[in-house]
Amino acid sequence: MTCDKILEELNNLSSEKHKENVVIVGIPKENSMGVSTVDIRKLAKSIAKSNTLAMELWNTHYHEAKLLAVLLFDKKTVSLADVSILINDVFSWDLCDHLCKNLIIKIKDYQSLIFDWCNSGNTYFKRAAFTLIAFTVIHEKTVSADEIDSYLKLIKENSIDEREHVKKAVSWALREIGKKDFECQEKAVLLAHELKSSANKSQSWIGKDALKEIENLVKVEGRGRLISADSQMGKEQTK
């Protein structure tokens, strides 16, 4: 399927409702086609993986075409240098997270990007670094205590960033560390309390936001990660 044919398919799937939703999150109207993520994923399943085709779609500058492109890249042949180029074209939190979840964490040695990007002045490079920490802690079962400590150090050092899309990713990373196991919860809660008591508004917000989720966690049989005690109680009450 050619790039032009795929754009035609996307246009056929578009709706004004979805276009308005995309504009609300900050995507310029001229870069939005108005296609739901569900439809984009369905379309991706009907198209063969191709880095060339994916890059053509990416370069159309349509938001939905970029979302689709991420799903069409061949993870086995895309390099860290390639995704470092892609992240330059990211101008929204949802595309940033989509790129991290569906492509970057599937590339060998992607963790090095966390340390390369965490001090970047670019909002979405920096958001990507902490999004990658969150996804790493969720999906990588062999994350060591030393790695966790290094991520907590990055969280503390970068918690003063006041940019909304950065501080929310920093909080997310801290919360996911806290839900890994009880040892990680203890470390995350201690840091969250430290940030909460800070005079810096961003640090205080991150600490409070994280504590709402990680201060009261429980272990449930059959689940690898901790969950909120409140959500578990709600499940028990509905039985």
Q: What is the pLDDT of residue 29?
A: 85
pLDDT at 238: 44
Q: What is the pLDDT of residue 26?
A: 80
Regions of the chain where pLDDT drops below 70: 231-239
At 71, is the secondary structure helix, strand, or coil?
helix
pLDDT single digits (tens) 181-197: 999 999 999 999 999 99
HSE-CB for 35 with a 13 A CA cutoff: 26
List 218's β-bridge partners, or say none.
Answer: 227
Please state, in angstroms and rounded to a whole number, the distance separating the CA atoms of residues 177 and 189. 10
pLDDT value, residue 20: 85
Task: Report the pLDDT value the prediction gives residue 235, as an integer from 0 to 100.
Answer: 54
Question: Could you give the 3-state DSSP secondary structure of residue 13?
Answer: helix
The pLDDT of residue 232 is 56
User: Given the structure tokens 């501080």, which residue do they identify?
Assistant: 167
> Rounded CA gap, 94 and 102, in Å?
12
